[in-house]
Amino acid sequence: MKSIKCDLAVIDRALTQNQTLGKIKVITNKRGKILGVTILGSYVSELLFLWISAIQEGKSIRSMTNVIVPYPTLSEINK
């Protein structure tokens, strides 16, 4: 298993709304299949649906970098 972590402070939408406290942690298997996600922050609901869908569909972490999202949005953390 592998974990990937990112702070919301690197996302433009979080910066513009002064809501930079938060993190996302994605757990994958050795091949990159997403097994679980932990999200902490003010706008969790904006991010949650995308990750739930990815887990249900058996997506890989690499496939998440190809998702097109509006800008600015917290969902760009997938990149």
The torsion angle over the Cα atoms of residues 6, 52, 72 and 14, rounded to 10 degrees, is -50
Q: What is the pLDDT of residue 44?
A: 84
Average pLDDT rounded to a whole number, residues 23-39: 97
Tell me the CATH number for domain 2-78. Answer: 3.30.390.30
Amino acid occupying residue 31? R
How far, CA to CA in Å, does 66 sit from each of 34, 40, 42, 53? 15, 23, 25, 14
Of the pLDDT bands very low, low, confident and very high (cuts 50, 70, 90), residue 46 is confident
Q: What is the pLDDT of residue 76?
A: 66
Where exactly are the structural domains of the chain?
Answer: 2-78
Query: What pLDDT digit, counting tens, does each position of 50-67 carry?
Result: 899 999 999 999 999 888
- pTM, to two decimals: 0.80
